[in-house]
Amino acid sequence: MLKNFQVDDHVKNQMTDEIKKYFLEERGEELGDLAALLVLEFVADKLAPHFYNIGIQDAHEFMSQRVEDIFELNK
């Protein structure tokens, strides 16, 4: 349950509001605060680590290319 997911209450409320808006607009379902928070917790626990790893991999590739560029300049 959001063990490593630290955001302030204002941001968490914005996220749950976006989830409620999505469900209403796309699925015609009205979610309450608890249901939206449970969806947020699911995304944070099960899906976010995959997005995080993609971000880390992208950053690694970017930095590796910059290091290669620096070595090329020093030749």
Q: What mean pLDDT comes out for the span 36-63?
A: 94
Q: Could you tell me the residue ranges of all domains in the chain?
A: 9-73
CA distance 51 to 21: 22
Q: Are 40 and 22 in contact (CB under 8 A)?
A: no
Instruction: Using a cut of 0.85, tell me whether the model's pTM lies above it.
Output: no
Task: Say yes or no to pLDDT of 1 above 80.
Answer: no
Residue 75 has a pLDDT of 75
CA distance 16 to 44: 12
Residue 4 has a pLDDT of 66
Q: What mean pLDDT comes out for the span 52-63?
A: 96
Measured CA to CA in angstroms, residue 48 lies from 2, 8, 25, 51, 55 at distances of 10, 17, 23, 5, 10
